[in-house]
Amino acid sequence: MNQSSLEEKKINRICPRCKQINTEQNRWCRTCYLNYNEKRYGRCIECEQINTGENWCQPCNSKRFQQNFDNWTGGNDDVDKFLQNIQLSAKNSYQILEWIPYDKFCGVEHVADGGFGKVYKANWKGYISHWDMSIHNWKRHGQHKFVTLKSLNSSRNITLEFINEITLHVKIYGNKLLDQHIIRCYGISQNPETKDYIMVMQYAKKGSYRNYLDIKKPIKVKNQALDIKWDKMKQMRHKTYNLSSITAGLKKIHEEGLIHRDLHIGNIVCFRQTTCITDMGLCKPANYNELENNIYGVLAYVAPEILRGQPYTKASDIYSLGIIMYEIISELSPYHDVAHDQYLAIMICKGLRPKFNSDIPKLILHTIKRCLDANPLNRPTAKELSKITFEWKDDINKYMKNIRNQKESTKTELINQIEASGIINDSSSTNSLTNKLHHEAIYTSRVLNFNNLPEPKNSHDYYKDYNNISNIKYSEPEFS
């Protein structure tokens, strides 16, 4: 069968709604898609065409954006054309990116330094929601709330990598009004002094997950056995909620054919009731061919095959996710008391993995170890992990709800394992961890170029034995 026949077979499939042949690229045929949009979004009161999103008519709004093109510029033709194309093609408000002059921000405050840029927070007038016919202007939401300003060092000559990051944020939101597991991007700005370009993004008040762990209040555990079990259950419920959010976000990224490439705990940010993945700066389409051989990231989270120069894959994201799962469950930074240098890279390729500081439910331990397998083909997919972590969260939630309501509840295997496990960190030990960090333990992204690394393999004691090893110190003698 030739290529054209394959393409024809791919396009001419059956629409699941009307059961007719579908010649469109979308899942539904055009008629069903329009009927769905009309029922859900109604018609535009100006042109009477079917709205493409909630309170959003693409033809009418694209004209409004186009009429305003002469009133702004990002000082770079590539930036201007990029933003103009985004605005003309947006089918809903979540796909909009704006050029935001720097003087529109108030109370700019430095938050942190990253591997390749700086992070600030500021007040802004809010993002576009819809066109308000009564005032003939854009209606905005989120006024007087903080936004995150992510500035890239030495970016006055805008890079394709920077534009690529923005593009992928839009693609993530392209098929859904809102994905709560991935940080939203509002537009681009520029620092008038440094001329560095800035991504304007959704603000996470609690900061990164590592920051959350560092300032987390110790949990008060009472003496009664029942209270201890209940406290352990509450802690594990919170952790599985966060794991479920993170895996759902990575599943979304992978479903779009993308790879994050720099997934670590600093790129997981916390809101009141959920966690989100951010910093898509190293994201590229899964079939993208690297033009340079540079590897960059946080050593503790980088898969061994990547350290040896292999191309990034979805499986390498899963390895990084496994380290994040370890860190959330244990509340320990991986390899915190050794130098993050070539010696550690060698030992990771030889099978070294982080050890836990307390007993962990074997179901969770087994899943983490699958993620950290030296063979990428043995690692689970983001889709599978999303299902697994959702079931963990659901099991714990149902059990605790039944206990509170004094209803009989059947204990699942996970519940039994949680109750039998050691107390999951009371924060007294993990909060003091920063005092024990090795001075060369680095948790920001950087260039990682290591030579002559061995072929990745699994450690027999780590992967063959699923019993937990408690109170293991990451000292150099343990590496030998």
The tens digit of pLDDT for each residue in 304-341 reads 999 999 999 999 999 999 999 999 999 999 999 899 99
How is residue 311 written in tokens? 């191309």
Q: Is the pLDDT of residue 409 over 70?
A: yes
Q: Could you tell me the residue ranges of all domains in the chain?
A: 52-202, 215-479
Predicted local distance difference test score (pLDDT) of residue 20: 80
Name, in order, each residue with C-beta under 8 angstroms of 289's C-beta and a sequence gap of 6 or more: none
Q: What is the value of pTM for the model shown?
A: 0.83
- Residue 168, phi then psi, degrees to nearest 5: -75, -30
Structure token digits, residue 315:
């499986």
What CATH code is assigned to 52-202?
3.30.200.20
**Confidence band, pLDDT 50/70/90 cuts, at residue 127:** very high
pLDDT at 473 over 80: no
- pLDDT tens digits, one per residue of 56-80: 999 999 999 999 999 999 988 888 9
Q: State the Cα–Cα distance between residues 370 and 250, nearest whole angstrom.
A: 17
Instruction: Say whether pLDDT at 424 is over 50.
Output: yes
Phi, psi of 373 (to 5 degrees): -60, 140
Q: How does the average pLDDT of the chain come out, rounded?
A: 83
Which one has a higher pLDDT value, 228 or 306?
306
Confidence check: pLDDT of 425 > 60: no
Looking at domain 215-479, its CATH architecture is: Orthogonal Bundle (1.10)
SS3 236: helix
Say what the pLDDT of residue 477 is.
34
Q: For residue 288, what pLDDT is reported?
A: 44
Q: Is 118 helix (H, G, I), strand (E, B) or coil?
A: strand
Give residues with Cβ within 8 angstroms of 331, minimum separation 6: 213, 216, 425, 427, 430
Calculated CA dihedral for residues 67, 68, 74, 76, nearest 10 degrees: 20
Q: What is the pLDDT of residues 360-394, one digit of tens each?
A: 899 999 999 999 999 999 999 999 999 999 999 99
> How many Cβ atoms from other residues are within 10 Å of residue 286's Cβ?
15
pLDDT for 123: 96
pLDDT in tens, 96-123: 999 999 999 999 999 988 767 889 999 9
R_g of the chain computed on alpha carbons? 25
pLDDT value of residue 47? 94
Strand partners, 430: none
